[in-house]
Amino acid sequence: MPNEDYIYFGDLKNSPYGEKTKAQLVEFAEDIFDFFMEKDIKAVVMACNTTSAIAYESIKDKYDVKIYPIVQSCANVLSLLEIKNLGVFATPVTIESHIYKKEIQKYNKDMEVFEIACPEWVKIVESGEEHYDSTKDIVKKYLDLMMKNNPDKIVLGCTHYPYLRSVLSDILGEDIFIDPSIIFSNYIKYDLEKSSMLNMQENVGCEEFYVSANPLEFKNAAKMFYNLKEQPKIAELLRV
């Protein structure tokens, strides 16, 4: 969707989210949404699995904009997979909520969903330790645990986890893993088109990046997925 204007917010001051309480996550989400409302946005993408799992239900009716939570948006598509067993790797908070299992089985009660938390994986990616020998041992430990359930596919249910895909694929192969961000982005485009909200005017899209702390750290870390042209601004509207 190159013609859309994008405003990205990264909450570096409060990350990692996978270890926070529900009350904290709801407060963080409300602060970020309030910041977005000042920017006159038409939709908010909740790209964080943990926030979608824990905070979405508490805030969804407080804001008069389209909200796209990643887990709930992808669940219907995942439920249509012609498989019997689906594995999910995610952060401890996401797994404790059982959000993937609950949402998928709303649409497909016959699909078995096996959820396993991988608490070390976010720190491995953020530290740039994907290719360490110790990392392969840690990843294999969780893969061995998951494979006891005989999954047909495995969802990488955290924004960080796809950056471990080369390690995961070396152990188990490429085809078994699902990056939900692909499903998610296609769903958002489809829904905006259906709602006549997609910007069809060409070559007008722009982007702004904000963080709650450490803008230089964010710019350097972001190189793994996007080359920022400028250093992000610090957002001062958040209660952080």
**Residue 6: what residue type?**
Y
**Residue 93: what residue type?**
V
Residue for token digits 């392969």?
A: 136
In this structure, what token pair is assigned to residue 211?
């963080």
Instruction: Give the total residue count for the chain.
Output: 240
Bond prior to 16 in cis (omega within 30° of 0): yes
Q: How far apart are CA 48 and CA 127, in angstroms?
A: 19
Residues catalogued as catalytic: 48, 158
DSSP 178-214: E-HHHHHHHHHHHHHHHTT-S--STT---EEEEESS-
Q: How far apart are CA 87 and CA 89, in angstroms?
A: 7
Q: How far apart are CA 91 and CA 84, in angstroms?
A: 23
Instruction: Give CA angle at 102 (23, 181), nearest 5°.
Output: 80
Furthest CA-CA distance within the chain:
50
In the DSSP assignment, the letter for residue 229 is S
Q: How far apart are CA 206 and CA 3, in angstroms?
A: 8
